[in-house]
Amino acid sequence: MKFAKSGLPMTAKGIGRVCEMLDVGEAEIWAVLTVETSGFGFLADRRPRILFERHIFSRRTDRKHDAKNPDIASLKPGGYLGGAKEFDRLKKAAKLDEEEALKSASWGLPQVMGFNHRVVGFDSVQAMVEAMVESEDRHLEALAHFIMANPKCRIGISRHDWGTFAACYNGPDFRRNDYDNRLAAAYDKNKRSLPDIGLRAAQVALTYLGYTPGPVDGLRGRFTRGALTEFQTKHGLVQTGELDEDTERALFAEAFPEDAGKLLA
């Protein structure tokens, strides 16, 4: 499969639709996204963020690959390499069993496991992966469907009962990673200041184009201003370090030549 395409960032319509589906605010959604993937669903090379779970692959393939491939098939979780190197692990597993390899990775902003493809609205894991490759708005849809299919998840997020949500979403061992407390802290932070979706999309575009805007967080910081100024200088635009209309159009046209209109609408 091809894992890198446009890698479109989320839109205001996309996150608004998910909030409406779940009847929650943006702060609740951002709490989950922040804890799962630090708030950005793609790598700089436009592939979706993944984490390959060797214990899942081992279980789903009846442990027949464990002896010769303990790095990707083991009773014990772990072996993570992080970032782009997770695709190396995925590809190695796919040579042994592509279907189960795809099902043994968690995908995108919400880090939904591939084996949950039907729960989040896809007939096949391949269809789910194609959606994860497409855009963060599709990531958000998967998140919404997963929560809607799990009553405890929905109760937890709607009541800000992060322990209940964590047990449903992350599993019974969530306290080992302080998952509930991290969710609560992320929610409190985002209640005070939500990311600017337009600026965040610009940070994604800058990242894809090789600039260094800092974290993709929708917040105005010196790295983002510096990257915008560098882009403006390169393209003969007024050097403000701000995301004005001319800069936004030029930036999206270069980073997303076939889809700029979707982000500017």
pLDDT tens per residue, range 128-149: 999 999 999 999 999 999 999 9
Structure tokens given for 262: 């979707």
Q: Which of 33-42, 88-97, 237-246 has the lowest average pLDDT?
A: 33-42
Query: Which is nearest to 47 in space by CA: 6, 89, 79?
Result: 6
pLDDT tens profile 218-236: 999 999 999 999 999 999 9
The pLDDT-based confidence of 118 (bands split at 50, 70, 90) is very high
Residue with tokens 């899942």: 56
* Alpha helices, DSSP H, located in the chain: 12-22, 26-37, 54-60, 85-103, 125-134, 136-149, 151-159, 162-169, 179-192, 197-208, 222-234, 245-255, 260-264
Mean pLDDT, residues 97-115 taken together = 97
Q: Is the pLDDT of residue 63 over 90?
A: yes
Please, which residues have CB within 8 angstroms of residue 82's CB and are 6 or more apart in sequence?
A: none
- Give the number of other Cβ atoms within 10 Å of residue 4's Cβ: 13
Structure tokens given for 122: 């896809």
Rg (CA), the chain: 19
Q: Is the pLDDT of residue 54 over 90?
A: yes
Virtual torsion, Cα 78, 172, 175, 49, nearest 10 deg: 50
In the chain, % of residues over pLDDT 70: 100
Looking at residue 263, its pLDDT comes to 86
The three-state secondary structure class of 133 is helix
Q: Is the pLDDT of residue 188 over 90?
A: yes
Looking at residue 39, its pLDDT comes to 83
The pLDDT-based confidence of 201 (bands split at 50, 70, 90) is very high
DSSP conformational letter for 3: -
